[in-house]
Structure 1
Amino acid sequence: MAIHNRVISTWICKQLGFKKNKAITGSVTLLQRFGSGLNLNTHFHTLALDGCYTIEDDKKVFHPLPMPQTEDIEKILATIINRVLLLLEKRGLLTKDEEQASLTLDHETSAMDRLQSSSIVYKIAYGPRAGQKVFELKALDLDQKQGSKNLLANSQGFSLHAGTRCAAHERKRLEFLCRYITRPAIAEERLSQRPDGKIVLRLKTPYRDRTTHLVFTPLELLQRLAALVPRPRIHLARFHGIFAPHAKHRKAIVPHPEADADSQACSKATDDPPKPKRMTWARLLARVFNIDVETCSVCSHKYRIIAAILERGAIEKILTHLGLPTIQPPIALARPPPLFAHADQSTPLPT
């Protein structure tokens, strides 16, 4: 990710005639680990400024970048590929010869390693079908139109796309883009269960071989989902350049509360309702998970807070009157999943 961000930011500064130490760019990168078929497919989604800032004497000036061409994207990708391969070779993860390069990986040491390596190649890690690919459903009469994307480069298994742009005033479009790159691995409406108990995943976009659905057993689906879980203490959202948390000039770019107050005053002058600075937890639950905690399921009216009861004695009396327990249930000790507690890498696990 550091190579990806450094190459792009350096290219932007050079295109605008600035040295890297005289200008600063900004970007927010989301690390996504999933593909459309719930396979492990690590890739980056980056929201980058289409320009750079110069700040002198506390005066900030934004220099917009002209629209890049496909040739520019290809050059950027070539630089990224070269540096990534050199880094892998330096770390001993890549064996390079005159004809081709191949990865040099250590022997798998855990069940998670096996889950992830199988997910990358669309195969099943454990169970009676271990080593086989997931069942696919294809449409014979599917008329696919493979349109060419602008500002897209592909080379050596790498790809770089820069064809999505939001103007400064397109706040709704920017919000939609932010929600897209932070979306979860799967939408619930794309999952269904057959009478035989197997799970069917409908692909958002059919594969080139006309595959429209994937069929999993419950164990196979859990294996795919487990492979997508990142390691502990890994941040999936990264802020670079002027958007970095400790960037020197971040306060000069990020709006201040005074600016928010001015914008709300302007909205009042135009009879538009002012927008709150942050959403409430209730609105976030409804927006993200479609859970409405503000509406009664019986009468469909809005809930309102009558009182906040904090005294232990009063709480116990109310719970006792309602027939509810007054003591919290004990928390069981953490344990590994039973299927993987004594997993043997050489033999598949029983179902």
Structure 2
Amino acid sequence: MVETAAHLVENVIPCVSVRQFVISFPMRIRYYLQTHKILQAVLRIVVDEIRKRLIACGPDNPDPKIGAITFIQHFGKTLNYHPHFHLIVADGLFSTNGDDLLFHEVSLSPGDIADTEFGIRKRVLKYFGNQGWFDKETIEKMTSNENSGFSLDANVRIPSWDREGLERLIRYCARPCFASENLRWNGPWIHYRLPKPTHTGKTFVQIEPLEFIGKGSGKGVRPDIRTFLIDVSGMSECSV
């Protein structure tokens, strides 16, 4: 986590402002995201919708590029399967002028974020419909429902000069799904103290050891990292 953050700040991410996008999905969709192929297809939709929004809000450019790093988290705070993406996206567009790489900041309004979330929702549901998992009625209902379970947050923005803030943000995105200091044995169970109480007041969960091992060795204790830097590889091929 610490090494990953330091490497990305020192060697990968240029000195430009960045914005964190966090996207989560309805419970009925999460089941399908346990498959790597489907997870990647949905991630491409998410990145492509963010790319299109930045281009729409940015200056005219014949060949604009974005830069993004995605941390794929697989679990929620109660160690339930809850796939969601943390994306650190350059808050603007890249272009070239000869051998020079230029960066143009883009301002996104709350309305732009809402439109991006709707675009993601619409395309993900269309993808699920094309696979035969959701019928037309379900897709129409989930597309039109504001409380569909899709959530996109983009309130965290790090200015270009705040490299320490960027490193802290990356550490947060790259954190494991649980803190080892919150684990202890409780008879035949593993007792995990939650970082904060749930909405029902629950402060801990008890897990069988084999189930806990399965969580750690299956979907991964640490998040997967996907990088789309400067040139979003394959985005033009995304036809969903």
TM over 0.5: yes
Out of 161, 164, 170, the residue aligned to residue 178 of structure 1 is: 170
Q: Check 1:241–1:219 CA distance in 2 against 1; reply closer, same or farther (3 A cut).
A: closer
CA RMSD, 1 decimal: 2.6
Structure 1 or 2: larger strand share?
A: 2
- Higher relative contact order at CA 8 Å, sep ≥6: structure 1 or structure 2? 2
SS state at 2:135 partner: strand
Q: Check 1:64–1:236 CA distance in 2 against 1; reply closer, same or farther (3 A cut).
A: same
Q: Check 1:155–1:70 CA distance in 2 against 1; reply closer, same or farther (3 A cut).
A: farther
Structure 1 or 2: larger helix share?
A: 2
Q: How is 1:55-70 mapped onto 2 (pairs within 5 angstroms)?
A: 55-66=96-107, 68-70=108-110
* Aligned amino acid, residue 123 of structure 2: R
Match of 2:228 in 1: 240
The Cα shift of 1:221 comes to 2.5
Q: What TM-score do the two structures reach when normalised by structure 1?
A: 0.49
Out of 110, 114, 134, the residue aligned to residue 94 of structure 1 is: 134
- Runs of 5+ unmatched residues, structure 2: 1-42, 235-240
The Cα shift of 1:99 comes to 8.5
Contact 1:40 1:227 in 2 (8 A): no
Match of 1:126 in 2: none
Out of 152, 173, 183, the residue aligned to residue 160 of structure 1 is: 152
Determine the C-alpha separation between the residues in 1 that align with 2:192 and 2:169.
Answer: 24
Determine the C-alpha separation between the residues in 1 that align with 2:123 and 2:175.
Answer: 29
Q: Check 1:83–1:219 CA distance in 2 against 1; reply closer, same or farther (3 A cut).
A: same
My pick for the range that moved more, 8-17 or 216-225, is 216-225
Determine the C-alpha separation between the residues in 2 that align with 1:26 and 1:179.
Answer: 19
The Cα shift of 1:78 comes to 0.4
Determine the C-alpha separation between the residues in 1 that align with 2:97 and 2:168.
Answer: 34
The Cα shift of 1:238 comes to 1.4
The percent of aligned pairs where both chains have the same amino acid is: 28
Q: Check 1:226–1:39 CA distance in 2 against 1; reply closer, same or farther (3 A cut).
A: farther
Determine the C-alpha separation between the residues in 1 that align with 2:199 and 2:55.
Answer: 38
Q: Which one has a bigger Cα radius of gyration?
A: 1
Determine the C-alpha separation between the residues in 2 that align with 1:190 and 1:228.
Answer: 20
Determine the C-alpha separation between the residues in 1 that align with 2:183 and 2:85.
Answer: 25
Match of 1:22 in 2: 63
Contact 2:65 2:232 in 1 (8 A): no
* Aligned amino acid, residue 183 of structure 1: R
Q: What TM-score do the two structures reach when normalised by structure 2?
A: 0.70
Match of 1:219 in 2: 210
